[in-house]
Amino acid sequence: MSDRILMGHGSGGRMMHELISSHFAPAFGMEGMGDAAVLELREKGRLAVSTDSYVVSPLFFPGGNIGELAVNGTVNDLAMVGAEPLYLTCGLIIEEGMLIADLERIISSMARAAEEAGVRIVAGDTKVVDKGKGDGLFINTAGVGVVPEGVSLSPKKIQEGDVIIISGEMGRHGMAVMAERSGLSFDPPLMSDTTALNGLVRVMVKAAGAGLRAMRDPTRGGVATTLKEFAMESGLAIEMDEERLPVPPGVRGACDLLGLDPLFVANEGLLLAVVSDDVSQYLLTEMKAHPLGSGACVIGRALSAPAGKVLLRTSIGGTRIVDMLEGGQLPRIC
Amino acid sequence: MSDRILMGHGSGGRMMHELISSHFAPAFGMEGMGDAAVLELREKGRLAVSTDSYVVSPLFFPGGNIGELAVNGTVNDLAMVGAEPLYLTCGLIIEEGMLIADLERIISSMARAAEEAGVRIVAGDTKVVDKGKGDGLFINTAGVGVVPEGVSLSPKKIQEGDVIIISGEMGRHGMAVMAERSGLSFDPPLMSDTTALNGLVRVMVKAAGAGLRAMRDPTRGGVATTLKEFAMESGLAIEMDEERLPVPPGVRGACDLLGLDPLFVANEGLLLAVVSDDVSQYLLTEMKAHPLGSGACVIGRALSAPAGKVLLRTSIGGTRIVDMLEGGQLPRIC
């Protein structure tokens, strides 16, 4: 038997069935070969649905790999609307010639990440493309969750005077991948922050109630792009204080070396929340008691004007307008 | 502005936002840039969830393109468990350099197919990979539907004496793609059968009630592979009559020319149903009254033995065992 993926593994026939039944189904606890899973939905509430494809290069990077990234990323997309993530699907596009051992490691990571996040991978699909028509592995995960009654988050709910909270340090995922890709090493090593945030979100939803207006995880495009989305969708301005931005020294050093701005660097285990000022202190206390929120802090606030703009108050006292990422400073980071 | 996709279109920044807001969001009727959609689930019942990635080559083929294929395929996966498909997600992996005009045509097809199937595309994701690391476009669609109360389909429910119904002609999608890829043309042209089957399934569920045991659409791997799945999952044998298999002359001719067996050729608008003998005639009458079921017919039956096997009764009176597709006779057909 080949130790590499062949075109026949994507044919729908015997080789694909064996690949699935010997490698994927046991890892994910799946039964049968049907194309759709049927699930009891015990929880009450509205449905949250999301999708994300992962094309990160390289597939393995310090602190993680494409598999756990694909699980955590979709869990987080659901968590950002206040949903309890329940079910994921997994679509694999494998390049002919991929080592089956690498695929197995990635699948194991997905299974472990799903277990840690408390979600089930319930449906999957496997395609194989010719050598030179893919890049090792692309993974799509789609997710289904339930938004508890009473929870309704949207940038449209942001009000003047609300504060912006960040859950921890910025820029770790993007710089870990870029360092790996550039062949740079740092001491201590830069590690991706990939993790599932649904546990932290559960604490936040409980602590802040209706004071929690909106959440988003600043992945591709980084903190600046997410704040710009908040500004545009709310019709308000978002002001942030440069001095308060939690950029760890390793990320700052790597950004300096590679000519990147940490404001635009991707994160995969970080969230930005906009909350009413009156609940912010209690919320911060509750967040800090959670392992993923121990570094939570306020980085800015919503202002009435200039509408749709993000302002950065610099450490030397000036103010500059921050726009979205132009072009592609960090390709294939997730 | 470039008429081609650039790496920056996948960066998460301004270019991606413009691509989505000017091309994708209007086509799909989406609002906002959030990563998860929140939906009211008015229908009662269990949830059906599925996923499928599409890597068909070429992207455009007689009778369709990758976009409508991606919508119809996932709608059909949901319909095969008896679900009413409601929501789809759409994940695009675009190769740098793709013509934006081609992408637009494909997105329009997706929107039209979704409308025709009565589903909404509610969440999306766009990634761009470097030229030479993809192949134009890969699409993942995941789907969510609701299985009405009382409907429960599974190959495990198949009983001895049940009959196998096929909804129409075999082999059209696979041979249309293969003909296009080989540069062959036929008169009349071979057209893909890609279509959404949920309307036909609704009629079938109503007509057959508990007499409907299982359904599956014979895509990759073709009719033979699906019947083999039925045999293995039920622990029964499936016997089919070669003379009854509805292989249209164009498909037969193309298969002869290319050395392929229509039993293993992919379909994208066809279903196989296993039903109890006593409801089969009424069900066939109802199916024939639907435009997508006008060619419905019985092609075989479930036997007690040999367990897990598919038998083909040939036109000259013999019987041979049919196994799953070995290897990759038809790569990248969907």
Instruction: Find the largest Cα–Cα distance for chain A.
Output: 67
Q: How large is the average pLDDT for residues A20-31?
A: 86
* Side-chain half-sphere exposure of B128, counting CA atoms within 13 A: 27
> In the predicted model, is pLDDT for residue A109 greater than 70?
yes
Whether A185 is in a domain gets the answer yes
pLDDT tens string B209-237: 999 999 999 999 999 999 999 999 999 99
Give the total residue count for chain B. Answer: 334
Model confidence band, residue B184 (pLDDT cutoffs 50, 70, 90): confident
Statement: residue B14 has pLDDT above 90: no
Do strands A120-129 and B84-95 pair parallel, antiparallel, or not at all (unpaired)?
Answer: unpaired
Q: Is residue A95 classed as helix, strand or coil in its secondary structure?
A: strand
Last residue of a domain, one of B131, B148, B165: B148
In a domain, A216, yes or no: yes
Q: Which of B120, B148, B176 is the last residue of a domain?
A: B148
Residue with the two structure tokens 């545009």:
A232
Element at A118 (helix H, strand E): none
Q: With beta carbons less than 8 A apart as the criterion, state whether B163 and B278 touch.
A: no
**CA B82 to CA B63: how far, in whole Å?**
26
Looking at the domain assignment, is residue B166 inside a domain? yes
Dihedral pair phi/psi, residue B332, rounded to 5°: 50, 55
pLDDT band for B328, please (50, 70, 90 cuts).
low
Say if strands A46-54 and A60-61 run parallel, antiparallel, or are unpaired: unpaired
Contacts of A211 (CB under 8 A, 6+ apart): A275, A276, A278, A279, A280, A283
Question: Per DSSP, what are the bridge partners of residue A99?
Answer: A4
Residue A248: inside a domain, yes or no?
Answer: yes
For residue B161, CA distances in Å to B35, B247, B302 come to: 49, 24, 5
Beta strands B64-65 and B60-61 are: antiparallel
What Cα–Cα distance (Å) separates residue A128 from each residue in B39, B116, B133?
33, 29, 14
What distance in Å separates the CA atoms of residue A39 and residue B46, rounded to the nearest whole number? 6
- Domain containing residue A102: CATH number: 3.30.1330.10
Token representation of residue B12 = 């998460």
Phi-psi region of A258 (alpha: psi -120 to 50; beta: other; left: phi over 0): alpha
B residues 113-152 near A, CB within 8 Å? 122-125, 127-130, 132-135, 138, 140, 142-145, 147, 152
Question: Average pLDDT of B272-285?
Answer: 98
B-facing residues of A in 9-38 (CB < 8 A) are 10-17, 32-38
In a shared domain, residues A159 and A60: no
Q: Does B316 touch chain A (CB under 8 A)?
A: no
Indicate the residue among A148, A169, A193 that finishes a domain. Answer: A148
Give the integer Cα–Cα distance in Å for B184 and B170. 19
B265: contact with A, CB 8 A cutoff: no
Residues A56 and A169 in one domain: no
With a cut of 90, say whether residue B310 has pLDDT above it. Answer: yes
Q: Count chain A–chain B contacts defined by CB atoms under 8 A.
A: 294
**Cβ of A176 under 8 Å from any chain B Cβ?**
no
Taking the model in full, what pTM does it have?
0.95
Range A45-59 average pLDDT = 94
Task: Say if residue B119 is in the same domain as residue B178.
Answer: no
Least confident among A32-41, A188-197, B245-254? A32-41
**Tokens 């030479």 belong to which residue?**
B132
Residue B37: C-alpha distances to residues A145, A325, B123 (Å): 10, 24, 6
Helices A198-208/A277-288 angle, 10° precision? 140
Which residues of chain A make contact with B38, given a CB cutoff of 8 A?
A: 46-48, 81, 83, 147, 152
The Cα A164–Cα A238 span in angstroms is: 8
Give the minimum alpha-carbon distance from B224 to chain A in angstroms, rounded to a whole number.
9
Mean pLDDT of A200-218: 97
What pLDDT sits at residue B35?
76
Give the side-chain half-sphere CA count within 13 A for B233. Answer: 23
pLDDT at residue A265 in the model: 95
**Is there a cis peptide before residue A58, judged by omega within 30 degrees of 0?**
yes
The pLDDT > 90 percentage for chain B reads 80
| Average pLDDT for B115-132 | 95
Pairwise CB contact (< 8 Å): B329 & A11: yes
User: Which B positions 186-205 lie with beta carbon below 8 A of chain A?
Assistant: none
Would you call the peptide bond into B58 cis, given omega within 30 degrees of 0 as the criterion? yes
Give strand ranges (E) for chain A: 36-39, 46-54, 60-61, 64-65, 84-95, 120-129, 137-147, 163-166, 212-216, 237-241, 272-275, 297-303, 310-313, 319-322
> Which of A39, A91, A331 lies at the smallest CB-CB distance from B51?
A91
Whether residues A75 and A195 share a domain: the answer is no
A193 neighbors A119 (Cβ within 8 angstroms): no
Q: What is the pLDDT of residue A185?
A: 85
Contacts 24+ apart (CB under 8 A), A24-29: A24/A90, A24/A107, A24/A124, A24/A126, A27/A107, A27/A108, A27/A110, A27/A111, A28/A90, A28/A107, A28/A110, A28/A111, A28/A114, A28/A120, A28/A121, A28/A122, A28/A124, A29/A120, A29/A121
pLDDT digits (tens, 9 = 90+) for B39-92: 877 666 799 999 999 999 999 999 999 999 999 999 999 999 999 999 999 999
Residue A253 pLDDT class (50, 70, 90 cuts) = very high
Place B34 in a pLDDT band, splitting at 50, 70 and 90.
low
CATH of the domain at A238: 3.90.650.10
- Out of A13, A51, A152, whose CB is closest to B123? A51
Q: What is d(CA A321, CA A158) in angstroms, rounded to the nearest whole number?
A: 20
Say if residues B1 and B99 touch (Cβ distance below 8 Å). no
Once rounded to an integer, what is the mean pLDDT over residues A61-79?
Answer: 97
DSSP class of residue A4 equals B
Residue type, A303: L
Residue A38 domain-assigned (yes or no): yes
- A180 and A312, same domain (yes or no): yes
Sheet strands side by side (includes A84-95): A120-129, A84-95, A137-147, A46-54, B36-39
Q: In terms of Cα–Cα distance, which of A165, A120, A176, A144 is closest to A333?
A: A176
Q: What is the pLDDT of residue A102?
A: 97
Q: With the CA atoms of B291, B297, B303 and B308 taken in that order, what torsion angle do they form, in degrees rounded to the nearest 10?
A: -50
Q: Does B328 touch chain A (CB under 8 A)?
A: yes
> Could you tell me if B48 lies within 8 Å of chain A, comparing CB atoms?
yes
User: What range does the domain containing A141 cover?
Assistant: 7-148
Q: Which of A35, A95, A227 to mutate to test the interface with B (most CBs of B within 10 A)?
A: A35
Whether residue B245 lies inside any domain: the answer is yes
Q: Rounded to an integer, what distance in angstroms lies between the CA atom of residue A201 and that of residue A80? A: 8
pLDDT at A328: 64
**Pair (B195, B233) in one structural domain:** yes
Least confident of A179-188, A215-224, B171-180: A179-188
Same domain, B116 and B222: no
Q: Tens digit of pLDDT for each residue in A288-313?
A: 999 999 999 999 999 999 999 999 99
Which chain B residues contact residue A132 at CB under 8 A? Answer: 132
Q: Are residues B240 and B101 part of one domain? A: no
Q: Does A178 have pLDDT greater than 70? A: yes
Please tell me the total count of domains within chain B. Answer: 2
Which tokens go with B144?
A: 């969510």
**A310-313 and A319-322 strand pairing:** antiparallel
Distance CA B124, CA A51 (A): 6
Task: Name all contacts of B99-103 with Cβ < 8 Å and 24+ positions apart.
Answer: B99/B3, B99/B4, B99/B5, B100/B2, B100/B3, B100/B4, B100/B5, B100/B23, B101/B3, B102/B59, B102/B60, B102/B136, B102/B137, B103/B5, B103/B23, B103/B137
A130 and A191 in a single domain? The answer is no
Give a yes or no: residue B327 inside a domain: no
Cα torsion A91, A96, A100, A105: sign: negative
Q: Is residue A118 part of a domain?
A: yes
How many CB atoms neighbour CB A56 within 10 A?
29
Share of chain A above pLDDT 70, in %: 97
Q: A226-249: per-residue pLDDT in tens?
A: 999 999 999 999 999 999 999 999
Query: One-letter amino acid identity for A156?
Result: K
B56/B174 same-domain check: no
Segment B4-8 mean pLDDT: 92
User: Does A65 share its domain with A179?
Assistant: no
Same domain flag for B74 and B118? yes
Length reported for chain A: 334
